Amino acid sequence: SRAGAWDVAVEVDPGVGTRRALLAAQADGQWLVGPDNGVLSLVLQRARRRRLVQLTNRRYWLSPVSQTFHGRDILAPVAAHLARGRPLNTFGRVVSHYQTVRIPLPEPTRQGWRGHVVYLDRFGNMITTIPAHRIGASGWVRYRRRHIRVVSSYGEGRQGEVIALAGSSGYLELAIRDGSAARRAQARRGEAVEWRRG
């Protein structure tokens, strides 16, 4: 069903209450609502077909609108109307430009794939941009000057060993069984990681 497309809603909007725009978009059949701060840019850039509007029609917002909670007062009501089948262009004026965030995409190499660390989760796992379906459970990973073996589960790691595996997010991650790989390595987002075939 149309409403079934709305599985998860995440708002990343440190500019709430400022003059930044809010958007609703359709990208390859998926519906998106959010601030025009780059949070939607990766999905929009990858889409083959996309339509965007800037949310200007206050008829579909809650009233009054809080200056600190646009997710509740604007974005959630618009998402609900979209899920019920309201046409995209009823929410505001059509736009073609949006803010982008430069996220380095993974690149194939002669031996495998090269990517970057993009997220350090609360468990200390280092999530990369390398898609998990590209690696399977074999090969090894080069991070800084270390060679890290690829395993299929956290349990295969030895105590204190940094391991690489296909994480639940669908991307290659570096981890330590019962520990924090990010803390151990003092990891930073943007660092290079390379997976090579075994």
Condensed to tens digits (0 to 9), the pLDDT of residues 63-121 reads 998 888 888 999 999 999 999 999 999 999 999 998 887 777 899 999 999 999 999 99
Q: What's the gap between Cα 169 and its chain centre? A: 9
Predicted pLDDT of residue 196 = 94
Do residues 179 and 160 make contact, with C-beta atoms less than 8 angstroms apart?
yes
Per-residue DSSP letter, 65 = P
| Whether the predicted pLDDT of 7 surpasses 70 | no
| Residues forming beta bridges with residue 22, ordered by sequence position | 35
Lowest-pLDDT choice from 11-20, 24-33, 100-109 = 11-20
Distance of CA 26 to CAs 102, 109, 178, 186, Å?
21, 33, 41, 39
Provide the pLDDT for residue 187.
94
Evaluate whether 43 touches 29 at the Cβ level (below 8 Å). no
pLDDT in tens, 63-73: 998 888 888 99
How large is the average pLDDT for residues 141-165?
Answer: 94
Does residue 3 have a pLDDT over 80?
no
Provide the pLDDT for residue 66.
Answer: 85
What's the confidence (pLDDT) of residue 8?
A: 40
Distances (CA, A) of 13 to 47, 69, 111: 22, 9, 39
Question: Which of residues 13 and 35 earns the better pLDDT score?
Answer: 35
Q: Among the listed ranges 1-15, 23-37, 122-136, which one has the minimum average pLDDT value?
A: 1-15
Distance CA 185, CA 146 (A): 11
Measured distance CA(175)–CA(138) in Å, rounded: 16
Say whether pLDDT at 5 is over 70. no
List, for residues 38-58, the tens digit of each pLDDT value: 888 878 888 899 999 999 999
- pLDDT at position 12: 59
pLDDT at 116: 95
